[in-house]
Amino acid sequence: MRATLAAIPKGQWEAAHAIGMNWPQAMGRVILPQAARIAVPPLSNTFISLVKDTSLAAAVTVPELFQAAQRLASVTYEPLILYIETALIYLMFSSVLSLLQDRLERRLTHKETREVAL
């Protein structure tokens, strides 16, 4: 977050102060919306990586999914179908998170362009 605040040009601070905004107003109405737009993509990517690399809601993990698929494959002798189903479940988790990230980015971009137009 510190880097995103530092990425906002100094002119934005100066412009906010020039139109009479104090520090909290400038931060809330000018700086933080721009910083959020910069920060959301890397933070979202980190969150998605954490979900992929660790347990998801302490209930389902990727190794548990594959172990269950291996146990079923040893009984049914159809490993390909089970592994494809496991991959689709994993893809579903990742896709939902990616869609949420995309919606958040679009909302922030739309909000910023709307505020600039005002």
Q: What is the pLDDT of residue 58?
A: 46
Is the model's pLDDT at 118 over the cut of 80? no
Q: How far apart are CA 83 and CA 17, in angstroms?
A: 59
pTM reported for the whole predicted model: 0.55
65-76 pLDDT, tens digit per residue, is: 777 778 888 888
Query: CA 111 → CA 1, 86, 98, distances in Å?
Result: 20, 38, 20
DSSP output for 64-110? HHHHHHHHHHHHHS-HHHHHHHHHHHHHHHHHHHHHHHHHHHHHHHH
**What pLDDT score was predicted for residue 57?**
47
Distances in whole angstroms, Cα of residue 68 to Cα of each of 38, 45, 80, 95: 40, 28, 13, 22
Please check the confidence at residue 113 and state whether its pLDDT lies above 50: yes
At 101, the pLDDT band (50, 70, 90 cuts) reads confident
Task: Quick: pLDDT tens for 6-62.
Answer: 899 999 999 999 999 999 999 999 999 889 888 888 888 888 777 766 655 445 556
DSSP code of 60? B
Tokens of 99: 């869609």
